[in-house]
Structure 1
Amino acid sequence: MPKDTSLLSRETRFDKQTFHRLRKRRHPNDPHAVLFLRLHRQRQSFLLKQNFASVFDQLNQLHSVRYFDGSNNVEKAVVMKPLGDCKFVSAMYGHAGQNSKTPCYVCNLAWSTHGSDTASLENFDFEFSGEIRTLSDLKKTGVPLLDVDPLNAGPPGVHTILGICQYYCIDWLIAMAINFDTGSSSPANLKQLKKDLKKLVLETEETTNLVDSLESSLERINDAVTTIQKNCKTTKPKQKNSSHCTSSFCIVGSSKKSSFRDSSIFQCTSCKAAVHDVCAFYITEEQRLLMDQSNAVCLDCRHGMIPSIPDRLSLALEIQKSVNEQLLQAQDILEVADNERLKLEQHLKGSRIRSEVSTRQLLEAALRSIGCDSRIWYQDLTGNQARKFLRHSSIDKVLAVFTSNSRRAPNASEKNKEE
């Protein structure tokens, strides 16, 4: 029993390793005041009821503590204050959690936690709060595990500090270092840089698919041109066989059997003839998609006449030129997008691009020297790392990377002068 006469408080603390403790308010960090009640390693959800029901029942029955102080019997009321991360407190109260429309377990204020309207320290109105949740309200919609009003639940202090430190300090410094290295004058925003990388990756993938498609189309039209040119030189038409379609000139039947293995036959919506796609000059993926949508017309019907073989060759050469130009343009776009993607990816990873040391590498070296290199842990900063990072000496060492580095990001006016 405690020997002082201060009001007792009972904290319920949870983190990655869950525990309860009874402590004296006057000496909250006294290790001798810790009472370990139960360990919970599963995910923090309302499944706590299944594993912790007996513990919460006992806590709900703990209203006072009696002890003898040496001369008198003393009875003290117990004040319960749930403390821990948001996931646990939400699970304990049966709250929907931090991805819901109303993320706070204390009030019912609604705000966005994702997308372009995400609430942040910069745009959140801290002077306004929603209607305070009460224990009686929670019992109408669920089964709270602890009989304590949510207003008595403390904020997740350590997690809040870690989040602010990571997002507004570490991430900002990394983005600033990347801006120094790239010469960008845009605001330092690591999250936006990661979005930019994601867009570049998507653009690279889409352009790669386009290049592959155009290369396949160019190969098809090249084979078609070769076949037509050979038939221009001969006066004796090739004998028709089972591979011929009903086109006035079947490219597939007049070529080597292996040239158009992927060719398909469609029915002309005008004359109802069965024609190969390549014989109607449906070469590109867009044209073949049009054919698959039952809107395809054969070459003869499109021109209102039966083109001669020289006329077909002229049309094929025009298509060949157009596809080749599209391919060259797509290849140029792919080269630019892939170079930008690779450069930004290397900057985000902190890789050395040139022979000299980058600002990003200098920043990582400074963070590593104070024990705050996030790559060591492959996660965000821990509590001890954040404490080290926020020391005056550590802050001075990290900021010295930018003040001593001659390569700095130009401002908007300087950039306009250069242009």
Structure 2
Amino acid sequence: MGIGGRNGGPQTRYNPIPLPARRPVSSKFEGEGAKSILILAVNPGSTSTKIAAYQDELCLWKEVIEHSAQELQPFARISDQSSYRIEKIQEVLREKGQKLEVFAAIVGRGGLLKPLPGGTYLVDEYLAAQCQNAPGGEHASNLGAIIAFHLGQRIKAPAYIVDPVAVDEMEAVARLSGLPELPRLSQGHALNMKAVARKVARQLGKAYHEVNLVVAHLGSGISVTPHRRGLMIDVNNANMEGPFSVERCGTLPAALLVKLCYSGRYSETEMLKKILKEGGLYAYLGTKDAREAERRMQEGDARAKLVLEALAYQAAKEIGAMTTVLLGEVDRIILTGGLAHSEFITGEICRRVSFLAPVEIIPGEEEMESLVLGALRVLRKEEEALVYRA
């Protein structure tokens, strides 16, 4: 698919860099000259735990462990589930005949920590305890560091997390909202956005810290962020502002929102649910499936077409705004996330923004691969592991 850019001429859709040929396995990282590195990735969700084994960049296998409500019911807090989920992971390893000891490192999804710079963090006892105490709130992603730490301790291997949701590299000027009581907060899909940014930088023959990019993660929430020389210097918090998405309202007319909140029709809990889970596409069309909305559009539903156009329109406006943050010096615009599979949505966005910079489309969200690549950069000594201290 050719997508025009400001420099003229068609730009080809991004194709992932081919993976290296599979090489002999070395059970532990051996430093310079090591033949191969085995890594176990762990990504906990609210009702599942995804695990995957990688040999360098090559995925050997993936599994999704489902957790029923009945199984999780005895745990008062999400962080209390760690021992239960570790045992489930070990059951899968035993079924596969996979020894935990062969892994050079364990990498987990980062949780709701206090604001921190992007990068790969060593999970030590302090960081694991912080996730156990949940300083930013209870969330399944907090289990990533806890599980990685305990598995790593069992085999005396390092544990890491990579680019958690709490990544904060915003400039001071970006934090002001217009009310001192309501600062703009940095939360977004940092793991996926930084991963695709690095991929596109490599495609351009450059390092991540050598390029300027605008990355739009199009999912259940939409995050758009400018990356300047390796830092995400601004971002719309998808829970609070920016484009509406599949289920989130995005930015709303402030005065009308205040009136609705004080109308007596909704409690605080109900309003938050309305904004975060019952807004956007769902509020207009009654579905959270963009494919269903497109099917309706193709069958002649004018309202479905209008709502999908508006979603793309708002995403394009946010991308345009973020190009001003970079003073128009943008090497690429990147569209990623689940909605980037939609040729209609990406086509509408490209129609509005391709004059600003060439557009690359990398659909989906390869969270497991992104976690592993972060660990590999440290194990290969391309980066130093960061240490988290609140």
| TM-score, scaled relative to structure 1 | 0.30
| TM-score, scaled relative to structure 2 | 0.31
Higher percent of residues as strand: 2
Structure with bigger RCO (C-alpha 8 Å, 6+ apart): 2
Larger radius of gyration: 1
Higher percent of residues as helix: 1
